[in-house]
């Protein structure tokens, strides 16, 4: 297990003065990145080998988004590591040790030159942890939107959404989906967030969100100009 401590900053808060959903995701991503750097297997090392870890899907369960100034601890561990993929948990805890949010996720190693997933290198198996997985709902690898969707205003991917892998960062897809719903007059406060990533969006790409209302929340399919999906974001509010 790898952990680091922090404190909720004003720049990480939403309009209610609490840690925003995108900031929560960034904490989880940062935690795994810090672990990689601490092991000497970080961004520079992967770049030399023309490889990158990419997120295939995750499920985030939220009990509480902490308010400004709250001391927090973020942890991550790989409870399953094979030559095909990694399964990784994340957890956000308060100073009293109470779990505030947690995530389950599946990761693949991406061959940058060949443009596809490849076998996990033997040196990356060092992430395997004896920690058991968290008790959470299942990862849904078959997320599909149902019914009639409402197309939202398209957006052009700008430089602030691009990370060191030169594609849209995982958290930014969630921001795109949140903004699309706000444009429809809907503000979500999800208890569960699931994201299935299907394709990579790059600088200058046009993304059209399509919103589907559900009994328990919303699906937002982020599509390209041909209607193919970059990512499906599911917000479950109850």
- Work out whether strand 86-94 and strand 229-236 pair parallel, antiparallel, or are unpaired: unpaired
Fold match, 2-127 / 150-236? yes
Among all chains, which residue has been given the structure tokens 């602030």? 160
CATH architecture of the domain with range 150-236: Roll (3.10)
pLDDT at 193 over 90: yes
Give the model's pLDDT for residue 85. 93
The model's pTM is 0.93
**What pLDDT band is residue 24 in, cutting at 50, 70 and 90?**
very high
**What pLDDT band is residue 165 in, cutting at 50, 70 and 90?**
confident
**What pLDDT band is residue 116 in, cutting at 50, 70 and 90?**
confident
- Write out pLDDT tens, residues 33-57: 999 999 999 889 988 899 999 999 9
- Work out whether strand 155-156 and strand 206-214 pair parallel, antiparallel, or are unpaired: antiparallel
Nearest residue to 231 via CA among 186, 167, 188: 167
pLDDT at 238 over 90: no
CATH code that applies to domain 2-127? 3.10.129.10
Indicate the domain borders of the chain: 2-127, 150-236
- Overall size of the chain counted in residues: 238
Percent of the chain with pLDDT over 70: 100
């Amino acid at each position: 297990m790898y952990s680091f401590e922090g404190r909720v900053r004003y720049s990480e808060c939403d309009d209610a003065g609490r840690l925003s959903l995108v900031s929560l995701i960034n904490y989880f991503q940062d935690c795994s990145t810090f672990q990689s750097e601490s092991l000497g297997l970080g961004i520079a090392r992967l770049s030399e080998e023309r490889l990158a870890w990419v997120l295939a899907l995750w499920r985030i369960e939220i009990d509480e988004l902490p308010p400004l100034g709250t001391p927090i601890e973020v942890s991550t561990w790989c409870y399953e590591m094979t030559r095909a993929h990694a399964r990784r948990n994340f957890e956000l805890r308060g100073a009293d040790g109470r779990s505030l949010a947690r995530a389950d996720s599946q990761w693949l190693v991406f061959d940058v030159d060949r443009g596809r997933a490849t076998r996990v290198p033997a040196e990356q198996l060092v992430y395997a942890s004896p920690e058991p997985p968290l008790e959470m709902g299942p990862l849904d690898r078959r997320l599909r939107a149902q019914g009639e969707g409402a197309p939202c205003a398209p957006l052009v991917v700008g430089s602030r959404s691009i990370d060191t892998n030169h594609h849209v960062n995982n958290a930014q897809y969630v921001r795109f989906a949140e903004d699309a719903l706000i444009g429809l007059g809907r503000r979500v406060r999800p208890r569960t967030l699931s994201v299935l990533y299907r394709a990579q969006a790059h600088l200058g790409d046009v993304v059209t969100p399509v919103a589907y209302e559900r009994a328990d929340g919303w699906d937002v399919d982020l599509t390209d100009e041909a209607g193919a999906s970059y990512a499906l974001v599911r917000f479950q509010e109850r």
